[in-house]
Structures are given as structure tokens and as C-alpha cells.
Amino acid sequence: MNPFTRAATAAATALALLSTPAQALDLSNMSEAERDAFGEQVRAYLLENPELILEAVDLLEQRQQQAEAARDGTLVADNLEELQNDGYSWVGGNPDGDITLVEFMDYRCGYCRRAAPEVAKLLESDGNIRLVIKEFPILGEASVLSSRFAVATKLVAGNEAYKQVHDALIAFGSEPNEVALRRIADGLSLDGDAIFARMDSEEVTAELRQTRALAQRMAISGTPTFVLGNELLRGFLPADQMEIMVAEIRDQQS
């Protein structure tokens, strides 16, 4: 929110705070002179008590955060089954874990690369987390190419091969292209020809399309985005903060 908008909103909120429910002001019934006089009184009051503006801004931001959290909670609840059990996304960690962590990621996303060791740390420290990876390439054609390669690997060579390719692509620092992807396949002793033959298949396209549609329904436009239990987390989060949230979720479930 820019300073002008914050100030205007704060003034409006402060104005509301000056009126009690029993004496609510109806500005539509005031004459122009009365409205001008009232406006001058409000301005003078705010100038004499500028801390009210900051209090009003804080209150407004708290209410906005609460509204966003409530909206996100509804989005998760409405899409929980597809988030956690869509039938095609790779599942790692403890498949029988009591808490599911879903990650929407893009291989060319710098914050996704930062998040990868944090997620690995969480899974290592807590053996009861189920991880679901959502391929969500949003950073251009190179991202789409990488995701198609990863998904095709899963279809051709299975989940273990997918995880190897996933880790290699996350760590890959250069622009992905066919030559680089074939080198990754060769380095992992995978059948690069079979993988490339599958990359443009309808099955791969459908998986990416369904994940994108899910992200759109949930108003997800950036990566990484996590869903931890029933919490929607937009952006990078360190392992220690996720551990705290996991503990809180388990307390709520007990």
C-alpha cells in the first residue's frame, strides 16, 4: 500500500473510530457547509492526535491479514483432496505421514532453490511428513521444458528416477536445454531418448495443465508456494519456522 493510500485509508478508519454506533454520522444528510465544518474538525483532531493514524493503519492491516488468512483457509479446504491426492504428483518423505506438505515449484525459481535444502532438513528432522511436489512452471519456456522433462522421467522410469532428476534440475545453475537435459539423463543412467519421446505427450501436458488450473483456483501466482496441513504459505519459509507450524498443527489435531 503506497503512503497516500495508507494515509487516506487511515483517515477514513480514524473517522469511523470517532463515531459511536449510537451516534453514527449520516454524511448524506449534511449540508455542504456542515460537511466542510465536520471535515475541518476531523482534520484538526488527527493533526492533534497523529498516533491515531498509525493505530488505524495497524488495525486495517490486521483485518486484511485476517481476511486473507480466512480466504486462503477456504481455498485449501475446498481443494484439499486434489492438493494431497491428485493421483499423479510425486509423493516423497513419509507417504504415510500424519501431515502433508505440498509444494508448488519452478526449477528456475531462485527461492525454490533456496527452499529445497530447507524442505530436505524438515523431512530429515521429522520422519512423519508427507511431501507432494506440484510441477508449476511459470518462468518461461525453459521452466516448461524442465518440468516436462521431470514429469516424462516419472512416467518412463518411475518415482525414484523422478526424484533424482528433480534434485538435479533444482541444483542446475545454467539455462536448461535439450543438450543439458540429455547430459542429466546420461549422468543418471536414464534412457534419454525414451524420456524425450514422452515429453510432449498428452499425459505430460495434462498433468501440467491440471496443476496450473489448481493453482489458478487457489490464487497461486508465485513460487514456491506451500500448503502445510491446512495452511497456505506464499513464499520461502525456513525449516525452523515450518517445524514450529508442524508442532502447532499436531497440537490442534490432538
**DSSP collapsed to 3 states, 58-80:** HHHHHHHHHHHHHHHHHHHHHHH
90 and 73 belong to one structural domain:
no
Which amino acid would we find at residue 114?
A: R
In the predicted model, is pLDDT for residue 11 greater than 50?
A: yes
45 and 157 belong to one structural domain:
no
Q: How far apart are CA 165 and CA 242, in angstroms?
A: 25
In the predicted model, is pLDDT for residue 160 greater than 90?
A: yes
228 and 126 belong to one structural domain:
yes
User: pLDDT grade, residue 36 (50/70/90)?
Assistant: confident
In the predicted model, is pLDDT for residue 148 greater than 60?
A: yes
Contact 170, 107 (CB under 8 A): yes
Residue-level pLDDT at 35:
78
User: pLDDT grade, residue 46 (50/70/90)?
Assistant: confident
123 and 243 belong to one structural domain:
yes
Residue-level pLDDT at 71:
81
Which amino acid would we find at residue 149?
A: F
53 and 90 belong to one structural domain:
no
146 and 32 belong to one structural domain:
no
51 and 109 belong to one structural domain:
no
In the predicted model, is pLDDT for residue 209 greater than 90?
A: yes
- Domain end position, chosen among 78, 104, 133: 78
Q: How far apart are CA 183 and CA 143, in angstroms?
A: 17
Residue-level pLDDT at 22:
41
Output phi, psi for 73, to 5 deg. -60, -40
Contact 157, 191 (CB under 8 A): yes
74 and 89 belong to one structural domain:
no
118-140 pLDDT, tens digit per residue, is 999 999 999 999 999 999 999 99
40 and 100 belong to one structural domain:
no
- Domain end position, chosen among 35, 53, 78: 78
Residue-level pLDDT at 27:
66
Sign of the alpha-carbon dihedral angle for 199, 217, 234, 240: negative
Contact 232, 82 (CB under 8 A): no
Average pLDDT rounded to a whole number, residues 233-240: 93
Query: Can you give the residue range of the structural domain that contains 40?
Result: 3-78
- Domain end position, chosen among 18, 45, 78: 78
Average pLDDT of the chain is 87
DSSP-based three-state secondary structure for 200: coil
Q: Structurally, how many domains does the chain consist of?
A: 2
Four-point Cα dihedral 134, 139, 145, 151, nearest 10: 0
Contact 235, 225 (CB under 8 A): yes
CATH code of 137's domain: 3.40.30.10
In the predicted model, is pLDDT for residue 13 greater than 70?
A: no
Give the closest residue to 230 by CA, choosing from 249, 205, 211: 249
Residue-level pLDDT at 50:
79
User: pLDDT grade, residue 67 (50/70/90)?
Assistant: low
73 and 16 belong to one structural domain:
yes
Residue-level pLDDT at 12:
52
Contact 75, 232 (CB under 8 A): yes
Which amino acid would we find at residue 177?
A: N
Residue-level pLDDT at 5:
47
49 and 137 belong to one structural domain:
no
73 and 98 belong to one structural domain:
no
Residue with cell 525459481: 109
Say what angle helices 239-253 and 110-125 make with each other, to 10 degrees. Answer: 50
**Range in 51-55, 87-91, 180-184, 223-227 with the lowest mean pLDDT:** 51-55
Give the closest residue to 42 by CA, choosing from 18, 20, 9, 8: 18
In the predicted model, is pLDDT for residue 68 greater than 80?
A: no
